Amino acid sequence: MKIIKDKVAKLSFVALLVSMTAAVFYAPTASAHGEKSQAAFMRMRTIHWYDLNWSTDEVKVNETMTLTGKFHVFAGWPETVDKPEVSFLNIGIPGPVFIRAGSWVGGQLVPRSISLELGETYEFKVLLKARRPGDWHVHSMMNVQGGGPIIGPGKWVTITGSMSEFVNPVTTLTGQTINLETHAIDEIVFWHAVWYAIGCAWLFIWVKRPMFIPRHIAVSSGKANTLISANDKKIAVAFGIGTIVLVAGAMGATNDKYPVTTPLQAGLLRGIKPIEVPESVVAVKVEDATYRVPGRAMQMTLTVTNNGDSAVRLGEFNTASVRFLAADVLEDETGYPDDLLAEDGLTVSDNSPLAPGETRTISVVASDAAWEVYRLADLVYDPDSRFAGLLFFFDEDGNRSMSTVDAPLIPSFI
């Protein structure tokens, strides 16, 4: 009976090991992201993305596309999120379906982390080279140390062609041109196989003897020292010494083969210049704001003052990458993602032209299914229930003025 139990335990362990190994080599295809699960206050009160442009909706393998736009670093950054003093401009894509050929903020190449200032607005550009065919969701994204990834709007982009045709040539500092896609693949496979074999051999040594139940009994009875024999210690020492020798030998051979190397660059780029955003000609004060849960609509009472020289009208409310437009003032012509665009989602109680010097109190309603689809309504359940966003006013010539809003949000369940 004991022999049978030992064999069952061994077989169970081996089955578990095989299952875990198989899981490592299997990964289902992911095409979009979990941006909807990110806390609403994170998307509303940190980075506001706007004027985004995806240069194309379809690209062939080895061809490039660009993602450009602006982002405003919100002055009312939440206290629970680390400030963006160490940030990294990134692209949210489901794996290496594109490679990033270059990224710029404020016209400066930013291959590493940068420091951002609260209340400032920056221009950015990312150059992407298509690698894997398929339909992929391509997002702007800012990684903030201590704050995690802050995801911007995403748009579906189709890559056509064959991945076997993809090449990624680079010229090293010694003048050698290599294809990063296939460079040293044989060596990579070899070393993976070597360490996998060593790991399996180590496991086999311990799996071939009585497993969990006998060991538990020995430990419980105070005989744990009997579980490791003198031969076991010799084998462990041999594995340890062999690993050290193998690593040292491989390192020496690598240094001989590649005598010229440079370390990965991990410094922080400071002094990134924000763009000169004209001071808003419209002063906005939020008198109150409520979110009506059954109607999926947010209502704001605003007192607005036009300090400019031309009459203006409210055309857009942008929050968490969702754009609510007043259809009679603004029509989107940029091809913005449909699921993030409420083309007739902004209603203003009195949106007649606001004359220069005039002050008016208006009721603004932003309504669309996006409040629920993108889980922005979860904001009303936060301990700090506040909303934030960008208001865009337009004069008769199409000139735009941007104002920020930030205020408590009171939920209404009737």
**83-112 pLDDT per residue, tens:** 999 999 999 999 999 999 999 999 999 999
Task: Determine the Cα–Cα distance for residues 120 and 102; give it in Å rounded to an integer.
Answer: 23
Residue 260 — pLDDT band, cuts 50, 70, 90? confident
Q: Where is pLDDT greater, at 8 or 118?
A: 118
Task: Determine the Cα–Cα distance for residues 91 and 99; give it in Å rounded to an integer.
Answer: 10
Residue 5 — pLDDT band, cuts 50, 70, 90? very low
Q: How confident is the model at residue 12, as a pLDDT?
A: 54
| pLDDT over threshold 60, residue 257 | yes
pLDDT, tens digit, for every residue of 261-312?
Answer: 888 888 899 989 999 988 899 999 999 999 988 888 999 999 999 999 999 9
Q: Where is pLDDT greater, at 145 or 378?
A: 145
Q: How confident is the model at residue 265, as a pLDDT?
A: 81
| pLDDT over threshold 80, residue 10 | no
Q: How confident is the model at residue 15, as a pLDDT?
A: 53
Residue 258 — pLDDT band, cuts 50, 70, 90? confident
HSE-up of 94 (CA within 13 Å, CB side)?
20
Return mean pLDDT, the chain: 89
Over range 219-232, report the average pLDDT.
Answer: 81
- Which tokens is 291 given? 């979110």
Distance of CA 191 to the CA centre of its chain: 31
Over range 139-166, report the average pLDDT.
Answer: 94
At 262 the three-state DSSP class reads: coil
Q: Which of 120, 121, 119 is nearest to 75 (CA)?
A: 119
The percent of residues above 90 in pLDDT, for the chain, comes to: 69
Over range 359-381, report the average pLDDT.
Answer: 91
Over range 240-254, report the average pLDDT.
Answer: 95
Q: Where is pLDDT greater, at 206 or 29?
A: 206
| pLDDT over threshold 90, residue 359 | yes
Over range 374-380, report the average pLDDT.
Answer: 86
Amino acid type, 107: G
Over range 45-62, report the average pLDDT.
Answer: 96
Over range 218-236, report the average pLDDT.
Answer: 83
| pLDDT over threshold 50, residue 8 | no
| pLDDT over threshold 70, residue 370 | yes
Q: How confident is the model at residue 395, as a pLDDT?
A: 94
Over range 205-232, report the average pLDDT.
Answer: 79
Task: Determine the Cα–Cα distance for residues 159 and 202; give it in Å rounded to an integer.
Answer: 44
pLDDT, tens digit, for every residue of 321-338?
Answer: 999 999 999 999 999 999
Q: How confident is the model at residue 225, as a pLDDT?
A: 77
Over range 173-182, report the average pLDDT.
Answer: 91
Task: Determine the Cα–Cα distance for residues 192 and 40; give it in Å rounded to an integer.
Answer: 42
**Domains assigned to the chain:** 41-172 (2.60.120.570), 174-261 (1.10.287.710), 282-412 (2.60.40.1580)
pLDDT, tens digit, for every residue of 291-301?
Answer: 988 888 999 99
Task: Determine the Cα–Cα distance for residues 171 and 179; give it in Å rounded to an integer.
Answer: 9
| pLDDT over threshold 70, residue 25 | no
Most confident of 74-83, 129-138, 287-296: 129-138
Q: Where is pLDDT greater, at 3 or 79?
A: 79
Amino acid type, 122: Y
